[in-house]
Structure 1
Protein backbone atom coordinates (compact mmCIF):
# COMPACT_ATOMS: atom_id res chain seq x y z
CA UNK A 1 0.00 0.00 0.00
CA UNK A 2 1.94 3.00 -1.30
CA UNK A 3 -0.03 5.58 0.72
CA UNK A 4 1.52 4.22 3.93
CA UNK A 5 4.78 2.68 2.80
CA UNK A 6 7.69 4.05 4.88
CA UNK A 7 5.43 6.72 6.39
CA UNK A 8 5.74 7.78 10.01
CA UNK A 9 2.44 6.90 11.69
CA UNK A 10 1.17 7.64 15.19
CA UNK A 11 -1.85 5.73 16.54
CA UNK A 12 -3.41 6.82 19.83
CA UNK A 13 -5.46 4.51 22.01
CA UNK A 14 -3.47 1.63 20.59
CA UNK A 15 -2.86 -0.70 23.51
CA UNK A 16 -5.75 -2.84 22.27
CA UNK A 17 -8.94 -2.87 20.26
CA UNK A 18 -9.28 -0.82 17.08
CA UNK A 19 -6.11 1.17 17.74
CA UNK A 20 -3.95 -1.91 18.02
CA UNK A 21 -5.51 -3.35 14.85
CA UNK A 22 -4.86 -0.12 12.93
CA UNK A 23 -1.25 -0.05 14.11
CA UNK A 24 -0.78 -3.67 13.03
CA UNK A 25 -2.33 -2.98 9.62
CA UNK A 26 -0.12 0.08 9.10
CA UNK A 27 2.98 -1.94 9.96
CA UNK A 28 1.93 -4.62 7.49
CA UNK A 29 1.55 -1.88 4.87
CA UNK A 30 5.17 -0.84 5.38
CA UNK A 31 4.74 2.08 7.76
CA UNK A 32 6.89 2.94 10.76
CA UNK A 33 4.55 3.14 13.73
CA UNK A 34 4.42 4.78 17.14
CA UNK A 35 1.67 3.49 19.41
CA UNK A 36 0.24 5.50 22.27
CA UNK A 37 -2.05 4.82 25.20
CA UNK A 38 -2.60 5.89 28.79
CA UNK A 39 -2.10 2.30 30.00
CA UNK A 40 1.69 2.19 29.81
CA UNK A 41 2.16 -1.45 30.81
CA UNK A 42 -0.34 -2.78 28.29
CA UNK A 43 0.99 -0.43 25.63
CA UNK A 44 4.57 -1.65 26.04
CA UNK A 45 3.41 -5.24 25.68
CA UNK A 46 1.51 -4.35 22.51
CA UNK A 47 4.48 -2.47 21.06
CA UNK A 48 6.77 -5.42 21.72
CA UNK A 49 4.36 -7.86 20.10
CA UNK A 50 3.79 -5.71 17.01
CA UNK A 51 7.28 -4.28 16.54
CA UNK A 52 6.12 -0.69 17.10
CA UNK A 53 7.54 2.08 19.29
CA UNK A 54 5.61 2.92 22.47
CA UNK A 55 5.02 6.44 23.78
CA UNK A 56 2.69 6.43 26.79
CA UNK A 57 0.91 9.78 27.24
CA UNK A 58 -2.44 11.25 28.22
CA UNK A 59 -3.92 12.68 25.01
CA UNK A 60 -6.71 14.40 26.95
CA UNK A 61 -4.30 17.20 27.88
CA UNK A 62 -2.34 19.76 25.89
CA UNK A 63 0.90 18.68 27.56
CA UNK A 64 0.24 15.03 26.78
CA UNK A 65 -0.41 15.72 23.10
CA UNK A 66 2.66 17.95 22.85
CA UNK A 67 4.89 15.34 24.48
CA UNK A 68 3.54 12.58 22.25
CA UNK A 69 4.14 14.60 19.08
CA UNK A 70 7.62 15.65 20.20
CA UNK A 71 8.76 12.14 21.11
CA UNK A 72 7.13 10.58 18.04
CA UNK A 73 8.75 13.13 15.73
CA UNK A 74 12.14 12.42 17.27
CA UNK A 75 11.72 8.68 16.79
CA UNK A 76 10.16 8.73 13.32
CA UNK A 77 11.99 11.74 11.91
CA UNK A 78 8.60 13.29 11.19
CA UNK A 79 4.91 12.41 11.48
CA UNK A 80 3.16 11.76 8.18
CA UNK A 81 -0.03 10.15 9.48
CA UNK A 82 -1.89 10.81 12.71
CA UNK A 83 -4.58 8.33 13.78
CA UNK A 84 -6.55 9.86 16.65
CA UNK A 85 -8.16 6.68 17.90
CA UNK A 86 -8.25 7.22 21.68
CA UNK A 87 -11.80 7.48 22.94
CA UNK A 88 -13.91 6.88 26.03
CA UNK A 89 -17.57 6.22 26.68
CA UNK A 90 -18.34 7.25 30.27
CA UNK A 91 -21.65 8.49 31.60
CA UNK A 92 -25.23 7.82 30.59
CA UNK A 93 -27.90 10.50 30.78
CA UNK A 94 -28.72 13.75 32.57
CA UNK A 95 -27.41 12.37 35.84
CA UNK A 96 -23.88 12.28 34.42
CA UNK A 97 -21.70 14.73 36.42
CA UNK A 98 -19.92 17.65 34.78
CA UNK A 99 -16.53 16.04 35.36
CA UNK A 100 -17.51 13.01 33.27
CA UNK A 101 -18.87 15.20 30.48
CA UNK A 102 -15.64 17.22 30.51
CA UNK A 103 -13.45 14.12 30.40
CA UNK A 104 -15.39 12.79 27.40
CA UNK A 105 -15.02 16.15 25.65
CA UNK A 106 -11.28 16.29 26.30
CA UNK A 107 -10.62 12.78 24.97
CA UNK A 108 -13.20 12.49 22.19
CA UNK A 109 -12.98 16.03 20.78
CA UNK A 110 -10.15 18.18 22.09
CA UNK A 111 -7.47 15.52 21.60
CA UNK A 112 -8.11 15.84 17.85
CA UNK A 113 -8.14 19.65 17.97
CA UNK A 114 -4.88 19.84 19.94
CA UNK A 115 -3.10 17.36 17.71
CA UNK A 116 -4.19 19.17 14.53
CA UNK A 117 -3.14 22.50 16.01
CA UNK A 118 0.43 21.22 16.33
CA UNK A 119 0.63 19.06 13.20
CA UNK A 120 -1.15 21.02 10.48
CA UNK A 121 1.14 24.09 10.30
CA UNK A 122 4.18 21.88 9.70
CA UNK A 123 2.29 19.79 7.18
CA UNK A 124 1.28 22.92 5.27
CA UNK A 125 4.91 23.99 5.06
CA UNK A 126 6.07 20.52 4.02
CA UNK A 127 4.65 17.71 1.94
CA UNK A 128 1.23 17.53 3.56
CA UNK A 129 -0.07 14.90 5.93
CA UNK A 130 -2.91 12.57 6.78
CA UNK A 131 -5.21 12.96 9.80
CA UNK A 132 -7.57 10.17 10.88
CA UNK A 133 -10.36 10.71 13.41
CA UNK A 134 -11.87 7.59 14.93
CA UNK A 135 -15.40 8.74 15.69
CA UNK A 136 -18.34 6.32 15.71
CA UNK A 137 -21.68 5.64 14.08
CA UNK A 138 -22.95 7.36 17.23
CA UNK A 139 -21.43 10.55 15.84
CA UNK A 140 -23.59 10.30 12.73
CA UNK A 141 -26.70 8.90 14.43
CA UNK A 142 -27.12 8.61 18.22
CA UNK A 143 -26.39 5.92 20.78
CA UNK A 144 -29.27 5.08 23.08
CA UNK A 145 -28.40 5.66 26.74
CA UNK A 146 -25.02 7.33 26.20
CA UNK A 147 -25.36 11.10 26.06
CA UNK A 148 -21.70 12.14 26.58
CA UNK A 149 -20.48 9.59 24.05
CA UNK A 150 -23.04 10.52 21.41
CA UNK A 151 -22.58 14.26 21.83
CA UNK A 152 -18.79 14.21 21.80
CA UNK A 153 -18.62 11.79 18.88
CA UNK A 154 -20.86 14.18 16.95
CA UNK A 155 -18.24 16.79 17.77
CA UNK A 156 -15.46 14.55 16.49
CA UNK A 157 -17.29 14.01 13.19
CA UNK A 158 -17.88 17.75 12.84
CA UNK A 159 -14.22 18.55 13.51
CA UNK A 160 -13.03 15.97 10.97
CA UNK A 161 -15.35 17.45 8.35
CA UNK A 162 -14.21 20.99 9.16
CA UNK A 163 -10.57 19.97 8.95
CA UNK A 164 -11.13 18.31 5.57
CA UNK A 165 -13.07 21.28 4.21
CA UNK A 166 -10.47 23.77 5.40
CA UNK A 167 -7.23 22.02 4.47
CA UNK A 168 -8.09 19.24 2.02
CA UNK A 169 -7.12 21.37 -0.98
CA UNK A 170 -3.74 22.10 0.60
CA UNK A 171 -2.38 18.57 0.75
CA UNK A 172 -3.91 17.36 4.02
CA UNK A 173 -6.08 14.24 3.75
CA UNK A 174 -8.66 13.67 6.47
CA UNK A 175 -10.55 10.45 7.17
CA UNK A 176 -13.41 10.00 9.64
CA UNK A 177 -13.87 6.42 10.82
CA UNK A 178 -17.42 5.65 12.03
CA UNK A 179 -17.93 1.99 12.93
CA UNK A 180 -21.02 0.67 14.67
CA UNK A 181 -20.75 -2.59 16.64
CA UNK A 182 -17.12 -3.67 17.14
CA UNK A 183 -15.85 -6.30 19.56
CA UNK A 184 -14.03 -3.92 21.90
CA UNK A 185 -14.22 -2.92 25.56
CA UNK A 186 -16.77 -0.20 24.74
CA UNK A 187 -19.07 -2.80 23.21
CA UNK A 188 -18.55 -5.27 26.04
CA UNK A 189 -19.42 -2.54 28.58
CA UNK A 190 -22.49 -1.33 26.67
CA UNK A 191 -24.94 -3.29 28.81
CA UNK A 192 -28.50 -3.46 27.50
CA UNK A 193 -27.72 -1.82 24.16
CA UNK A 194 -25.22 -4.50 23.08
CA UNK A 195 -27.89 -6.15 20.95
CA UNK A 196 -28.68 -2.87 19.23
CA UNK A 197 -25.01 -2.18 18.48
CA UNK A 198 -24.54 -5.64 17.00
CA UNK A 199 -27.79 -5.64 15.00
CA UNK A 200 -25.92 -5.12 11.72
CA UNK A 201 -23.08 -7.46 12.61
CA UNK A 202 -20.33 -7.34 15.21
CA UNK A 203 -17.05 -6.61 13.45
CA UNK A 204 -13.57 -7.41 14.67
CA UNK A 205 -11.07 -4.58 15.17
CA UNK A 206 -9.06 -6.04 12.27
CA UNK A 207 -12.06 -5.65 9.95
CA UNK A 208 -12.40 -2.00 10.97
CA UNK A 209 -8.70 -1.42 10.36
CA UNK A 210 -9.00 -3.00 6.91
CA UNK A 211 -11.90 -0.66 6.09
CA UNK A 212 -9.77 2.33 7.08
CA UNK A 213 -6.82 1.28 4.93
CA UNK A 214 -9.14 0.71 1.99
CA UNK A 215 -10.55 4.22 2.44
CA UNK A 216 -7.04 5.68 2.60
CA UNK A 217 -6.13 3.90 -0.62
CA UNK A 218 -9.31 5.18 -2.30
CA UNK A 219 -9.10 8.70 -0.87
CA UNK A 220 -12.48 8.58 0.91
CA UNK A 221 -13.20 10.91 3.82
CA UNK A 222 -16.03 9.03 5.49
CA UNK A 223 -15.22 5.45 6.49
CA UNK A 224 -18.23 3.25 7.27
CA UNK A 225 -17.21 -0.34 8.09
CA UNK A 226 -20.94 -1.05 8.49
CA UNK A 227 -22.47 0.03 5.15
CA UNK A 228 -25.94 0.14 6.76
CA UNK A 229 -24.87 3.27 8.63
CA UNK A 230 -24.92 5.21 5.37
CA UNK A 231 -28.58 4.24 4.86
CA UNK A 232 -29.44 5.28 8.41
CA UNK A 233 -27.69 8.62 8.00
CA UNK A 234 -29.58 9.29 4.77
CA UNK A 235 -32.88 8.40 6.47
CA UNK A 236 -32.07 10.67 9.39
CA UNK A 237 -31.25 13.60 7.11
CA UNK A 238 -34.23 13.00 4.83
CA UNK A 239 -36.88 12.91 7.55
CA UNK A 240 -35.44 13.85 10.92
CA UNK A 241 -38.81 13.80 12.67
CA UNK A 242 -39.45 10.22 11.58
CA UNK A 243 -35.92 9.28 12.65
CA UNK A 244 -36.41 10.77 16.11
CA UNK A 245 -39.75 8.97 16.51
CA UNK A 246 -37.99 5.72 15.65
CA UNK A 247 -35.31 6.42 18.27
CA UNK A 248 -38.04 7.14 20.80
CA UNK A 249 -39.55 3.74 20.10
CA UNK A 250 -36.16 2.15 20.70
CA UNK A 251 -35.74 4.09 23.94
CA UNK A 252 -39.16 2.98 25.18
CA UNK A 253 -38.07 -0.60 24.66
CA UNK A 254 -35.16 -0.06 27.07
CA UNK A 255 -37.26 1.98 29.50
CA UNK A 256 -39.83 -0.81 29.90
CA UNK A 257 -39.42 -2.83 33.12
CA UNK A 258 -38.47 -6.49 32.60
CA UNK A 259 -41.38 -8.89 32.41
CA UNK A 260 -41.82 -11.32 35.28
CA UNK A 261 -41.26 -15.03 34.95
CA UNK A 262 -45.04 -15.56 35.17
CA UNK A 263 -45.63 -13.12 32.31
CA UNK A 264 -43.03 -14.87 30.17
CA UNK A 265 -44.51 -18.31 30.83
Structure 2
Protein backbone atom coordinates (compact mmCIF):
# COMPACT_ATOMS: atom_id res chain seq x y z
CA UNK A 1 0.00 0.00 0.00
CA UNK A 2 1.34 3.39 -0.94
CA UNK A 3 1.91 5.67 2.06
CA UNK A 4 2.77 8.88 0.24
CA UNK A 5 -0.09 11.35 0.22
CA UNK A 6 -2.12 9.50 2.85
CA UNK A 7 -3.81 10.92 5.93
CA UNK A 8 -3.12 8.92 9.07
CA UNK A 9 -4.10 8.88 12.73
CA UNK A 10 -1.66 7.37 15.24
CA UNK A 11 -2.86 6.74 18.79
CA UNK A 12 -0.36 6.47 21.60
CA UNK A 13 1.68 8.81 19.44
CA UNK A 14 3.23 10.79 22.27
CA UNK A 15 6.12 8.35 22.69
CA UNK A 16 7.48 4.89 22.02
CA UNK A 17 6.35 3.02 18.93
CA UNK A 18 3.59 5.53 18.20
CA UNK A 19 5.85 8.54 17.92
CA UNK A 20 8.31 6.57 15.77
CA UNK A 21 5.48 5.45 13.46
CA UNK A 22 4.22 9.03 13.15
CA UNK A 23 7.69 10.25 12.20
CA UNK A 24 8.13 7.40 9.73
CA UNK A 25 4.79 8.10 8.08
CA UNK A 26 5.66 11.74 7.48
CA UNK A 27 9.11 10.78 6.21
CA UNK A 28 7.31 8.63 3.63
CA UNK A 29 5.06 11.49 2.54
CA UNK A 30 1.98 11.08 4.73
CA UNK A 31 0.27 13.61 7.00
CA UNK A 32 -0.55 12.61 10.52
CA UNK A 33 -2.67 13.34 13.57
CA UNK A 34 -0.63 12.44 16.66
CA UNK A 35 -3.03 11.38 19.42
CA UNK A 36 -2.21 10.62 23.03
CA UNK A 37 -3.78 10.71 26.49
CA UNK A 38 -0.82 12.91 27.40
CA UNK A 39 -1.66 16.15 25.58
CA UNK A 40 1.78 17.66 26.11
CA UNK A 41 3.55 14.59 24.74
CA UNK A 42 1.37 14.59 21.62
CA UNK A 43 1.99 18.29 21.10
CA UNK A 44 5.73 17.84 21.49
CA UNK A 45 5.93 15.02 18.93
CA UNK A 46 3.70 16.84 16.44
CA UNK A 47 5.70 20.06 16.83
CA UNK A 48 8.99 18.22 16.24
CA UNK A 49 7.61 16.59 13.10
CA UNK A 50 6.05 19.78 11.82
CA UNK A 51 9.21 21.80 12.34
CA UNK A 52 11.08 19.43 10.04
CA UNK A 53 8.17 18.92 7.61
CA UNK A 54 5.84 21.95 7.83
CA UNK A 55 2.15 21.32 7.46
CA UNK A 56 2.33 17.56 8.03
CA UNK A 57 1.44 16.93 11.69
CA UNK A 58 -1.04 18.10 14.31
CA UNK A 59 -1.71 16.87 17.85
CA UNK A 60 -4.86 15.84 19.68
CA UNK A 61 -5.10 14.86 23.34
CA UNK A 62 -7.68 12.57 24.86
CA UNK A 63 -8.64 9.05 25.82
CA UNK A 64 -8.58 7.24 22.48
CA UNK A 65 -10.70 4.41 23.89
CA UNK A 66 -13.71 6.76 23.91
CA UNK A 67 -15.84 6.92 20.78
CA UNK A 68 -16.28 10.68 20.99
CA UNK A 69 -12.51 11.18 21.10
CA UNK A 70 -11.98 8.91 18.09
CA UNK A 71 -14.67 10.89 16.25
CA UNK A 72 -12.77 14.07 17.11
CA UNK A 73 -9.51 12.62 15.78
CA UNK A 74 -11.16 11.65 12.51
CA UNK A 75 -12.79 15.08 12.17
CA UNK A 76 -9.53 16.89 12.93
CA UNK A 77 -7.67 14.81 10.34
CA UNK A 78 -10.31 15.52 7.72
CA UNK A 79 -10.28 19.26 8.45
CA UNK A 80 -6.48 19.52 8.37
CA UNK A 81 -5.47 17.01 5.70
CA UNK A 82 -8.45 15.18 4.21
CA UNK A 83 -10.32 11.94 4.97
CA UNK A 84 -8.48 9.37 7.08
CA UNK A 85 -6.82 6.66 4.97
CA UNK A 86 -4.83 4.93 7.70
CA UNK A 87 -5.50 4.33 11.38
CA UNK A 88 -2.80 3.04 13.72
CA UNK A 89 -4.48 1.72 16.88
CA UNK A 90 -1.30 1.80 18.90
CA UNK A 91 -2.21 3.03 22.40
CA UNK A 92 -1.84 0.35 25.06
CA UNK A 93 -1.59 -0.26 28.79
CA UNK A 94 -0.38 -3.21 30.87
CA UNK A 95 -2.53 -3.26 33.99
CA UNK A 96 -1.66 -4.85 37.32
CA UNK A 97 -0.01 -8.30 37.35
CA UNK A 98 -1.75 -11.53 38.28
CA UNK A 99 -5.40 -11.50 39.31
CA UNK A 100 -5.02 -8.21 41.14
CA UNK A 101 -6.98 -6.18 38.60
CA UNK A 102 -10.27 -4.81 39.89
CA UNK A 103 -13.38 -4.85 37.70
CA UNK A 104 -12.70 -1.21 36.79
CA UNK A 105 -9.09 -2.02 35.89
CA UNK A 106 -10.20 -4.92 33.69
CA UNK A 107 -12.55 -2.54 31.91
CA UNK A 108 -9.74 -0.02 31.42
CA UNK A 109 -7.32 -2.61 29.98
CA UNK A 110 -9.96 -4.02 27.65
CA UNK A 111 -11.08 -0.52 26.64
CA UNK A 112 -7.62 0.69 25.67
CA UNK A 113 -6.15 -2.52 24.25
CA UNK A 114 -9.24 -3.86 22.47
CA UNK A 115 -12.41 -1.80 22.44
CA UNK A 116 -10.52 1.26 21.16
CA UNK A 117 -9.70 -0.80 18.05
CA UNK A 118 -13.30 -1.93 17.67
CA UNK A 119 -14.68 1.59 18.05
CA UNK A 120 -12.23 3.06 15.53
CA UNK A 121 -12.91 0.28 13.03
CA UNK A 122 -16.67 0.78 13.37
CA UNK A 123 -16.25 4.43 12.41
CA UNK A 124 -13.80 3.95 9.54
CA UNK A 125 -13.82 0.48 7.99
CA UNK A 126 -17.31 0.43 6.39
CA UNK A 127 -16.49 3.67 4.55
CA UNK A 128 -13.14 2.30 3.43
CA UNK A 129 -14.84 -0.85 2.13
CA UNK A 130 -17.26 1.26 0.11
CA UNK A 131 -14.46 3.18 -1.57
CA UNK A 132 -12.22 0.10 -1.80
CA UNK A 133 -9.25 1.53 0.05
CA UNK A 134 -8.01 1.98 3.62
CA UNK A 135 -5.56 0.64 6.17
CA UNK A 136 -6.05 -0.41 9.81
CA UNK A 137 -2.97 -1.30 11.87
CA UNK A 138 -3.47 -2.92 15.27
CA UNK A 139 -0.66 -2.87 17.80
CA UNK A 140 -1.06 -6.12 19.72
CA UNK A 141 1.94 -7.99 21.14
CA UNK A 142 3.72 -11.31 21.08
CA UNK A 143 1.64 -11.76 24.24
CA UNK A 144 -1.36 -11.97 21.94
CA UNK A 145 0.14 -15.06 20.33
CA UNK A 146 2.12 -16.61 23.19
CA UNK A 147 0.72 -15.20 26.49
CA UNK A 148 2.58 -12.87 28.83
CA UNK A 149 3.86 -14.29 32.08
CA UNK A 150 2.55 -12.26 34.99
CA UNK A 151 -0.05 -10.08 33.30
CA UNK A 152 -3.53 -11.53 32.85
CA UNK A 153 -5.16 -8.34 31.60
CA UNK A 154 -2.44 -7.64 29.07
CA UNK A 155 -2.41 -11.21 27.74
CA UNK A 156 -6.18 -11.49 27.45
CA UNK A 157 -6.64 -8.10 25.80
CA UNK A 158 -3.78 -8.65 23.35
CA UNK A 159 -5.10 -12.09 22.35
CA UNK A 160 -8.42 -10.40 21.69
CA UNK A 161 -6.76 -7.62 19.69
CA UNK A 162 -5.11 -10.21 17.44
CA UNK A 163 -8.45 -11.96 17.03
CA UNK A 164 -10.22 -8.75 16.10
CA UNK A 165 -7.55 -7.82 13.57
CA UNK A 166 -7.84 -11.28 12.02
CA UNK A 167 -11.61 -10.86 11.79
CA UNK A 168 -11.23 -7.47 10.11
CA UNK A 169 -8.82 -8.94 7.58
CA UNK A 170 -11.09 -11.88 6.80
CA UNK A 171 -14.24 -9.78 6.58
CA UNK A 172 -12.98 -6.69 4.75
CA UNK A 173 -9.72 -7.73 3.09
CA UNK A 174 -11.57 -8.59 -0.09
CA UNK A 175 -13.04 -5.07 -0.18
CA UNK A 176 -9.72 -3.26 -0.45
CA UNK A 177 -9.18 -2.72 3.28
CA UNK A 178 -5.67 -3.70 4.36
CA UNK A 179 -5.17 -4.87 7.96
CA UNK A 180 -1.86 -5.41 9.75
CA UNK A 181 -1.25 -6.66 13.28
CA UNK A 182 1.96 -5.84 15.15
CA UNK A 183 3.17 -8.47 17.63
CA UNK A 184 6.59 -7.55 19.07
CA UNK A 185 8.32 -8.86 22.17
CA UNK A 186 10.55 -6.41 24.03
CA UNK A 187 10.60 -2.80 22.85
CA UNK A 188 12.39 -0.10 24.84
CA UNK A 189 9.36 1.90 25.96
CA UNK A 190 7.90 2.91 29.32
CA UNK A 191 5.44 0.02 29.07
CA UNK A 192 8.29 -2.50 29.09
CA UNK A 193 9.28 -1.61 32.67
CA UNK A 194 5.81 -1.38 34.24
CA UNK A 195 6.05 -4.87 35.71
CA UNK A 196 9.29 -4.02 37.50
CA UNK A 197 7.70 -0.87 38.88
CA UNK A 198 4.67 -2.77 40.23
CA UNK A 199 6.64 -3.84 43.28
CA UNK A 200 5.45 -7.45 43.10
CA UNK A 201 7.32 -10.65 42.28
CA UNK A 202 4.98 -11.57 39.44
CA UNK A 203 5.27 -8.10 37.92
CA UNK A 204 9.05 -8.23 38.05
CA UNK A 205 8.95 -11.68 36.47
CA UNK A 206 6.77 -10.30 33.67
CA UNK A 207 9.43 -7.73 32.77
CA UNK A 208 12.25 -10.28 32.99
CA UNK A 209 10.31 -12.70 30.80
CA UNK A 210 10.20 -10.15 28.00
CA UNK A 211 13.70 -8.76 28.36
CA UNK A 212 15.30 -12.22 28.54
CA UNK A 213 13.32 -13.83 25.70
CA UNK A 214 15.00 -11.87 22.92
CA UNK A 215 16.58 -8.60 21.89
CA UNK A 216 14.95 -5.44 23.21
CA UNK A 217 14.40 -3.30 20.12
CA UNK A 218 14.19 0.45 19.71
CA UNK A 219 10.84 2.00 18.74
CA UNK A 220 12.43 3.30 15.52
CA UNK A 221 13.41 -0.24 14.48
CA UNK A 222 9.90 -1.52 15.15
CA UNK A 223 8.29 1.41 13.33
CA UNK A 224 10.41 0.80 10.24
CA UNK A 225 9.18 -2.79 10.19
CA UNK A 226 5.58 -1.69 10.62
CA UNK A 227 5.68 0.69 7.69
CA UNK A 228 7.47 -1.82 5.48
CA UNK A 229 4.73 -4.35 6.25
CA UNK A 230 2.04 -1.80 5.42
CA UNK A 231 3.69 -1.05 2.09
CA UNK A 232 3.91 -4.79 1.37
CA UNK A 233 0.37 -5.40 2.70
CA UNK A 234 1.45 -8.08 5.16
CA UNK A 235 -0.89 -8.97 8.01
CA UNK A 236 1.39 -10.28 10.75
CA UNK A 237 4.27 -8.01 11.74
CA UNK A 238 6.92 -9.80 13.82
CA UNK A 239 9.89 -7.55 14.67
CA UNK A 240 11.24 -10.55 16.59
CA UNK A 241 11.26 -13.40 14.01
CA UNK A 242 11.75 -16.00 16.76
CA UNK A 243 8.14 -15.40 17.85
CA UNK A 244 6.99 -17.37 14.82
CA UNK A 245 9.02 -20.42 15.89
CA UNK A 246 7.63 -20.13 19.41
CA UNK A 247 4.10 -19.86 18.04
CA UNK A 248 4.57 -22.95 15.88
CA UNK A 249 5.87 -24.94 18.85
CA UNK A 250 2.88 -23.84 20.89
CA UNK A 251 0.45 -24.99 18.22
CA UNK A 252 2.19 -28.30 17.63
CA UNK A 253 1.86 -29.46 21.26
CA UNK A 254 -0.20 -27.19 23.48
CA UNK A 255 0.23 -29.20 26.69
CA UNK A 256 3.98 -29.39 26.28
CA UNK A 257 4.08 -25.65 25.66
CA UNK A 258 2.02 -24.96 28.81
CA UNK A 259 4.33 -27.12 30.92
CA UNK A 260 7.33 -25.29 29.50
CA UNK A 261 5.78 -21.92 30.31
CA UNK A 262 5.09 -23.07 33.86
CA UNK A 263 8.74 -24.06 34.28
CA UNK A 264 9.86 -20.79 32.73
CA UNK A 265 7.74 -18.80 35.17
CA UNK A 266 9.13 -20.78 38.10
CA UNK A 267 12.68 -20.07 36.95
CA UNK A 268 11.95 -16.35 36.69
CA UNK A 269 10.44 -16.26 40.17
CA UNK A 270 13.28 -18.35 41.64
CA UNK A 271 15.80 -16.04 40.01
CA UNK A 272 14.42 -13.12 41.97
CA UNK A 273 14.67 -14.71 45.39
**What is the TM-score when the length of structure 2 is the normalising length?**
0.91
- Runs ≥4 residues deviating over 2 A: 192-196, 253-259
Instruction: Write out aligned runs for 1:124-139 (5 A).
Output: 124-139=129-144
2:179 aligns with 174
- Mapped pair 1:211 → 2:225: yes
| Cα separation, partners in 2 of 1:258 and 1:85, compared to 1, 3 Å | closer
For the Cα contact (< 8 Å) 2:7–2:31, is it kept in 1? yes
Task: Tell me the CA shift for residue 171 of structure 1.
Answer: 0.3
1:25 aligns with 24
Q: Distance in 1 between matches of 2:69 and 2:272?
A: 45
Task: Tell me the CA shift for residue 257 of structure 1.
Answer: 7.9
Instruction: Write out aligned runs for 1:142-221 (5 A).
Output: 142-191=147-196, 192=204, 193-198=206-211, 199-221=213-235
2:38 aligns with 39
2:91 aligns with 86
1:12 aligns with 11
Q: CA RMSD in A?
A: 1.3
- Mapped pair 1:249 → 2:263: yes
Task: Tell me the CA shift for residue 125 of structure 1.
Answer: 2.1
Deviations 1:65-115 (A, max 9, x none): 222222222222100110000111111112211111110000000000000
For the Cα contact (< 8 Å) 1:57–1:68, is it kept in 2? no
- What secondary structure sits across from 1:36 in the alignment? strand
Aligned length: 258
- Stretches of structure 2 that go unaligned for 5 or more consecutive residues are 51-56, 197-203
For the Cα contact (< 8 Å) 1:55–1:72, is it kept in 2? no
Q: Distance in 2 between matches of 1:196 and 1:89?
A: 14
**What is the TM-score when the length of structure 1 is the normalising length?**
0.94
For the Cα contact (< 8 Å) 2:8–2:88, is it kept in 1? yes
Task: Tell me the CA shift for residue 250 of structure 1.
Answer: 1.5
